Amino acid sequence: MLRPAFRWVRRVQPGSAAGAFTSRHLNNSASTAAPDNDSAPKLPPEVTIVEVGPRDGLQNERTPISAESKIGFVNRLAAAGLRRIEAVSFVSPKWVPQMADGAAVMAGVDRPPGVRYMALVPNLKGLEGAVSAKVHEVAVFASASETFSQRNINCTIAESIERFRPACAAAASAGLPVRGYISCALGCPFEGAVPPAAVGRVAEALLAVGCAEICVADTVGAGTPLRAAAALRAAAAAGVPLLRLAAHFHDTYGQALANILTALQMGVTTVDAAAAGLGGCPYAPGATGNVATEDVVYLLEGCGVRTGVDLERLLDASDYICGALGGGRLPAAGAARALLLRRRAAAGAAAQQ
């Protein structure tokens, strides 16, 4: 097992009795402690974090958010070192009004070298919007639960796949890789537990229509490590190579980080997260936010796994979007909340000096 891999470092400013903490004062490096023995979890040396806050994170927010604020959020995420960002979706504004300004957002974002922007598209019309917006990749989605598919998009699983088959073909012609989400892979708000075999069938179907990456998604955050492992094994058994598998876990029941560790130990190297733990599905009753990107970075860096993400700059992005949402918004819990509160306390202390 790993010993606790952190230590607190307190810096006291001249003239200040209390001093201040920032995320840079928190030494969370794996170099501060070594594994006790060879039984330590085997993790990949590097993990890609797909930032889904601008799309999956904001789509369920009731507060209208301007395109300008979304652009500022995306730009700050890119500046933090995140290299794959699901920035927008091209869906009917009637159903997801928060995402109605996708074209304006993509027209305004910075495009630094190495950053790839993704858009969610439900059909060929959505794909056309994504191509016009010059995204780098697109995503489609199918549920592992028949009931959720009917409640979410008013069709069966098989019908949903046929709906976006033309979009996948058009994306291939345009040179855009396609990610295929399997929603409700670890549980459904209407059916309860979802059999791993159902996940495998959808994974096979997504591969057949040309998806280059399959993302196993716990839409309601009800999964546990055993469920996560079973769903990922089912997708792999359907023919998805581990390097083409991704994991997307919501944190409704506080299991997301444990599920991520399970996925990484199985060989998965791509995980989704949302800055400040934003998110929730408008068609999944009870679902809360995605796992916070800050929590994932903090965990992985503490385990010696590279992410390429600057935690301090990531907090810039989270602080910015929480301010745009208003109402004194903060992440619900975890490292995201602790680090952001500490940063605000330090700023307040500095302002009083």
185 contacts: CB under 8 Å, gap ≥ 6 = 144, 194, 199, 202, 216, 217, 218, 219, 223, 231
What string of H, E and C letters represents the secondary structure of the chain? CCCCCCEECCECCCCCCCCECCHHHEECCHHHCCCCCCCCCCCCCECEEEECHHHHHCCCCCCCCCHHHHHHHHHHHHHCCCCEEEEEECCCCCCCHHHCCHHHHHHHCCCCCCCEEEEECCCHHHHHHHHHCCCCEEEEEEECCHHHHHHHHCCCHHHHHHHHHHHHHHHHHCCCCEEEEEECCCCECCCECCCHHHHHHHHHHHHHCCCCEEEEEECCCCCCHHHHHHHHHHHHHCCCCHHHEEEEEECCCCCHHHHHHHHHHHCCCEEEEEHHHCCCCCCCCCCCCECEHHHHHHHHHHCCCECCCCHHHHHHHHHHHHHHHCCCCCCCCHHHHHHHHHHHHHHHHHHHC
Judge whether 281 counts as a catalytic residue. yes
CA 281 – CA 299 distance, rounded (Å): 25
Count other C-beta atoms under 10 Å from residue 169's C-beta: 15
Hey, what amino acid is at 178? Answer: V
Catalytic residue, chosen from 168, 215, 281, 322, is: 281
Sign of the CA dihedral with 229 first, then 232, 238, and 240 last: negative
Which residues are annotated as catalytic? 281
